[in-house]
Amino acid sequence: MQVCGHHVRGAELDFELLWLTISLGAVLAAGIWLAAGLPWPHCLFLTITGHPCVTCGATRSAIQFLHGHFYEAWRWNPLMFAFFCWVALFDAYAILVLATGAARLRVSSVTSREKNFIRLLVVSMLVLNWAYLLANSARYV
């Protein structure tokens, strides 16, 4: 796997601006939703089976994360906590490169072996997260 610097030119899609806008828009929309007192999302899988799905606790994790209660955010859903940390780091990176005009990081030349490793890693993280949620399922009922 190779990471290189890249400058956005002309009509080329600016991924940093796009994903920064999407992530900040999602936070804003969620804040408006909760401030308006609209109902929280309910997990259909939990309702039907009585067991949490792989993303159960994500909303509560996000709220705890945004309040700076990182341990509680991790306890609600470790995988989503890791995702929120990644998004926060990406947003900081995006703001930095957009403000300075620096070269953007791009991944190139990923081998099939590396792709398989990434697939295995993602599946393993999902399975481990779900096992954690099932072991702590009393929190979600």
Q: What is the mean pLDDT of the chain?
A: 92
Q: Domain limits at 102?
A: 2-139
Out of 14-23, 32-41, 78-87, 116-125, least confident range: 32-41
Tell me the percentage of the chain whose pLDDT exceeds 70: 99
pLDDT of 141 above 90: no
Report the domain count for the chain: 1
In tens, the pLDDT along 41-89 reads 888 999 999 999 999 999 899 999 999 999 999 999 999 999 999 999 9
Distance of CA 129 to the CA centre of its chain: 14
Between 88 and 4, the more confident residue is: 88
Position 16 scores a pLDDT of 93
Confidence band (pLDDT; 50, 70, 90) for 26?
Answer: very high
pLDDT of 91 above 90: yes
Position 56 scores a pLDDT of 92
